[in-house]
Amino acid sequence: MSTNFHKLSISKITREAAKTVAITFDVPAELEGDFKFKSGQYLTLRADINGEDVRRSYSICSSPNSGDLTVAVKAIENGKFSNYAYDNLKEGDVMDVMAPMGGFVLDEKVNNHLFMAAGSGITPILSMIKDIAESGNGTATLIYGNKTAADTIFKEEIDALNTANTNVTVHYVYSREDSGNAVLNGRIDRAKCADLKNYILKDAPIDGLYLCGPEEMINNAKDYFSLSTLEANQIHFELFTTPTAATEESKGGADEGINVNSNVTVIIDDEEYEFLLNTEDKDVLQAAQDMGADVPFSCKGGVCCTCRAKILEGTAKMDLNFALEESEVEEGFILTCQAHPTSETLVVSFDEY
C-alpha cells in the first residue's frame, strides 16, 4: 500500500443534508490498483489552505464494486478543511489524495450485521451496507441517529437501499423530531440501546456490531452490547469526532514511569532515519518528520490510523489510541503520532502491513 499522495481530479460534487458534500474522484487507469478499497476504508486528502498543509481523513461512502470513489465531507464549526471543501471544491479541481486505508472493514465471518451510526458516522457504514446489498451475502440492519429527518445525510439513498433489498433493514432514530415510535425517539444512549434491542431488534439475529459516530454513542453501544449479547471481538467501531478525554491508558502498564534515551530507527519506503528520542520528548511521528522523513499522518490525535506503523524491535507506549484494535496492538502496531519509546532501541517500520 502506498502512503504517497496522488493527484486525482474531482469528477462530481453532490450537496447532501447537514452541510455535507459528497466528492467523487476520477481514478486514472494507472492508479486503479492503488485505489482499490474495502468498504469502510477512508481516504486522506491534502490541501494547501492559506499556505498551510492541511490533511484530513474522510470515509469512502461508495461501494467497492460501484466503480466510484466517493467520500463525504461534513462542514463542521471551525473545521478548517471541511469548510474549505464545502465552500470551495468544484468539479474538475485536482486534489492530493492518499490511497485508501483503514481497518474498519467487514469481518468475513459475520453474516448478520448490526450497524449503528450517528450523523456523518454513516459514511463508512453506507459503503458497507451497499456492499452487503450488492453481494446479497448476509443481512444488514441499520440504526441511524440524527436530530431530524431533514438532517439525515444520504436519507434518500438509504431509503432506496432499504426498499430495494430484502437483506437490508433501516430504522431511523430522531432526537428532535417525533418519529412516530417512542423507541425511535431520543439519543442513542445505553437505555436506548436496551430499548432498541428489546423491541426493534427483538427478532434480528446479530453476530457483528459496527459503530460509527461520536465517542459517547460508541461507548454507550459498546457497553450495552458487550454486557448483553456480544463478545468484544464482535464489536467494531470507528470514532468520528476528536475524543473529549484521554481515556485510553498508555499501552502496557509495565511501561509506566520508564524514561529512556532511545536510539530510534524509522523505516519508510526502504529508507532509514535514525535519531535519539527520550520517552518524555515529542512523539515518534514528529521526531521522524523533524529528521526529514515523509511519514504519513492526518489527525495527529490518535483517531484516524494514517500514521500506523509496526514495531520491529523494542517497545513504545501510546498516549491515546482510538484507532487500533487490540489484536493490532498485540501484533506490534502503533500510532506513531501517539508513540514514545520505552526501550533503549526502537525500530519502527511504516512498510509493514
Report the interface residues with ligand FES, using CB under 6 A: 297-300, 302-307, 323, 335, 337
- For residues 211 and 237, what is the distance between their CA atoms, to the nearest angstrom? 4
Q: Judged by CB, which is closer to ligand FES: 121, or 145?
A: 121
Min CB(295)–ligand FES separation in Å = 9
Q: Judged by CB, which is closer to ligand FES: 69, or 305?
A: 305
Query: Number of helices and strands (H, E) in the chain?
Result: 7, 18
Q: Judged by CB, which is closer to ligand FES: 185, or 286?
A: 286
Min CB(302)–ligand FES separation in Å = 5
Min CB(304)–ligand FES separation in Å = 4
- For residues 184 and 174, what is the distance between their CA atoms, to the nearest angstrom? 7
Min CB(297)–ligand FES separation in Å = 4
| Residue 285, phi-psi category: left (phi > 0), alpha (psi -120 to 50), beta (remainder) | alpha
Q: Judged by CB, which is closer to ligand FES: 73, or 307?
A: 307
Rg (CA), the chain: 21
Q: Judged by CB, which is closer to ligand FES: 110, or 323?
A: 323
Min CB(55)–ligand FES separation in Å = 8
> Which class for 53: exposed (0-12), middle (13-18), buried (19 or more C-beta within 10 A)?
exposed
Tell me which residue of 131, 97, 277, 118 sits closest to 193, measured CA to CA.
Answer: 118
- With vertex at residue 102, the alpha carbon angle to CA 59 and CA 39, rounded to the nearest 5 degrees, is 60
Min CB(298)–ligand FES separation in Å = 5
Tell me which residue of 240, 293, 297 sits closest to 101, measured CA to CA.
Answer: 297
Q: Judged by CB, which is closer to ligand FES: 56, or 130?
A: 56
Q: Judged by CB, which is closer to ligand FES: 82, or 234?
A: 82
Cα dihedral 278, 282, 284, 286 sign? negative
How many residues does this entry show for the chain? 353
Min CB(154)–ligand FES separation in Å = 25
Q: Which three cell numbers stand for residue 347?
A: 525500530
Q: Judged by CB, which is closer to ligand FES: 79, or 138?
A: 79
Min CB(299)–ligand FES separation in Å = 4
The HSE-up count of residue 273 (CA atoms within 13 Å, CB side) is 20
3-state secondary structure at position 209: strand
- For residues 330 and 74, what is the distance between their CA atoms, to the nearest angstrom? 34
Q: Judged by CB, which is closer to ligand FES: 187, or 300?
A: 300
Min CB(180)–ligand FES separation in Å = 40
Tell me which residue of 46, 98, 310 sits closest to 336, measured CA to CA.
Answer: 310
Q: Which three cell numbers stand for residue 88?
A: 470551495
